[in-house]
Amino acid sequence: MDCPIKTQENTDWLLDYAAGRLRGESAPQLARHVEACNDCRGFVAAQQMVWNALDKWEPDPVSLDFDRRLYRSIEAAKPASALPRLLRRLVGPLQPLWRPVVPLAAACLLIVAGVMLQTPQAVMAPADGSAHMERIEPEQLERTLDDMQMLRELAVTPE
Amino acid sequence: MQQRVKEVMGASVALDCDAELMLRVKDGDGASFGLLLGKYRASVTHFLYRMVQDQAISEELAQEVFLRVYRSRETYEPTAKFTTWLYRIATHLALNWLRDEKNERGQQRLDEISEDAPAREVVDRSPSVEQRLLHQVNVDAVRQAVAALPDKQRAAVLMHKYDEMEYSQIAMVLSCSESAVKSLLFRAYETLRLRLAHMA
């Protein structure tokens, strides 16, 4: 085989060979080459030295409360996001049904608000109790019936 | 579940039991998240420690990694090995932290750690004080040699050496080609051979 050092090809084989990770047909081929090649033998020896040196570097164990801290962070993040997600899940499938109704409902609300503004006596609380309420009730009823009629007309009028 | 993983990952990627666990997490199984956490807590934290060389920060970053894994459960798709995805998150966080740290403090922190910080606990394999000191000196030399590598080379070496990842997987984590990873590793180990030659 060609020398990986001289050709600068398959240098990863040398790294894997030095780490004892080279598998397959290339392993015995390279082993034979390394035995015969001074450059590759030197490379493998130096690489094994690096490998052994890296083995000496052992990190400290992970803190015992690592999981507790993590689950606390997860829990802390939950209330802010869980409710909207739940609502989305519940309401999401119904979207095609209620979406078209929204503009109509908004229009109705606007009309009702307008009507209420035009009849302030109906909105304002009576100063002298239920007797006053009874006096204005027929007027209010009449207006409301008119409004409902108007709404019906609006609903049947083609756009 | 297995069928679902196979469909998504295709025939080229072997069935990844971690991806299967993650799909269970996606379906609301908290116990599967616990299994993944138990399996990768140490390796992710140690990878981050060797990247940033600060125990407290490595744990903070590892917390963030697992938090992101949990938060991403609903959008998770097993398009690659679970560990590729996991280490991609970890590497991204570590590289960002290193970039911010460099911008903020330059190399000051590394000097502080190597000179002023209290000596780290070393596994006591020998009763001899001299041997312990020698071991500490060697570990410090390794730590400094690794810290001096460019960030991407360092990440590649750590994944190759300590997590025994294949070149193709490292390439996916670092978003580069396999040949680029081989080149990164060759240069990184060359630097380490020179810097650690005195330990031979």
Percent of all residues in chain A with a pLDDT value above 70, rounded to a whole number:
72
Q: What is the pLDDT of residues B82-122, one digit of tens each?
A: 999 999 999 999 999 999 988 777 555 555 555 555 555 54
How close A25 comes to chain B (CA, Å)?
Answer: 18
Of residues B111 and B169, which shows the higher confidence score? Answer: B169
Q: What is the pLDDT of residue A159?
A: 47
Q: What is the pLDDT of residues A108-148, one digit of tens each?
A: 888 888 888 877 555 455 555 444 555 557 777 788 888 88
Q: Return the residue of A nearest to B55 by Cα.
A: A60
Q: What is the pLDDT of residue A7?
A: 78
The average pLDDT across A148-152 equals 80
Do A158 and A119 share a domain, yes or no?
yes
Of residues B81 and B11, which shows the higher confidence score? Answer: B81
ipTM for the predicted complex comes to 0.79
Q: What is the pLDDT of residues B149-166, one digit of tens each?
A: 999 999 999 999 999 999
Q: What is the pLDDT of residue B187?
A: 95
User: Can you list the positions of beta strands (E) in B116-182?
Assistant: none
Do A108 and A94 share a domain, yes or no?
no
- Domains defined along chain B, listed by start: 1-107 (1.10.1740.10), 118-200 (1.10.10.10)
Q: What is the pLDDT of residue B126?
A: 54
Whether the CB-CB separation of B62 and A66 falls below 8 Å is answered with: yes
Do A38 and A49 share a domain, yes or no?
yes
Name the least confident of A57-61, A62-66, A122-126, B95-99: A122-126
Do A91 and A106 share a domain, yes or no?
no
3-state percent breakdown (helix, strand, coil) of chain A, nearest 5: 75, 0, 25
Distance of CA B157 to the CA centre of its chain: 9
Closest CA to B22 of B12, B31, B10: B31
Q: Give A41's pLDDT tier (boundaries 50, 70, 90).
A: very high
How close B161 comes to chain A (CA, Å)?
Answer: 8
**CA A14-A20-A25 angle, 5° bins:** 70
Whole-structure pTM value: 0.69
Hey, of B114, B192, B195, which one would you mutate to test binding to chain A, going by the most A CBs within 10 A of its CB? B192
With 90 as the cut, is the pLDDT of residue B180 above it?
yes
Do A75 and A104 share a domain, yes or no?
no
Whether the CB-CB separation of A6 and B176 falls below 8 Å is answered with: no
The average pLDDT across A21-47 equals 92
The average pLDDT across A51-64 equals 94
Domain total in chain A: 3
Q: What is the pLDDT of residue A2?
A: 82
Do A106 and A159 share a domain, yes or no?
yes
Q: What is the pLDDT of residues B8-50, one digit of tens each?
A: 444 444 458 999 999 999 999 999 999 999 999 999 999 999 9
Do A110 and A92 share a domain, yes or no?
no
Contacts (Cβ under 8 Å, ≥6 apart) of B170: B156, B159, B160, B181, B185
Do A23 and A37 share a domain, yes or no?
yes
Do A105 and A154 share a domain, yes or no?
yes
Hey, of A48, A60, A71, which one would you mutate to test binding to chain B, going by the most B CBs within 10 A of its CB? A60
Whether the CB-CB separation of A42 and A69 falls below 8 Å is answered with: no
In chain B, which among 132-161 make CB contacts under 8 A with chain A? 135, 138-139, 141-143, 146, 161
Do A147 and A105 share a domain, yes or no?
yes
Do A72 and A127 share a domain, yes or no?
no
Residue among B41, B120, B193 whose CB faces A66 most closely: B41
Residue among A53, A70, A74 whose CB faces B199 most closely: A53
The average pLDDT across A16-26 equals 90
User: Whole domain around residue A114: which residue ranges?
Assistant: 100-159
Do A88 and A111 share a domain, yes or no?
no
With 90 as the cut, is the pLDDT of residue B139 above it?
yes
With 80 as the cut, is the pLDDT of residue A19 above it?
yes
Q: What is the pLDDT of residue B2?
A: 53
Contacts (Cβ under 8 Å, ≥6 apart) of B45: A59, A62, A66, B58, B59, B62
Percent of all residues in chain B with a pLDDT value above 70, rounded to a whole number:
81
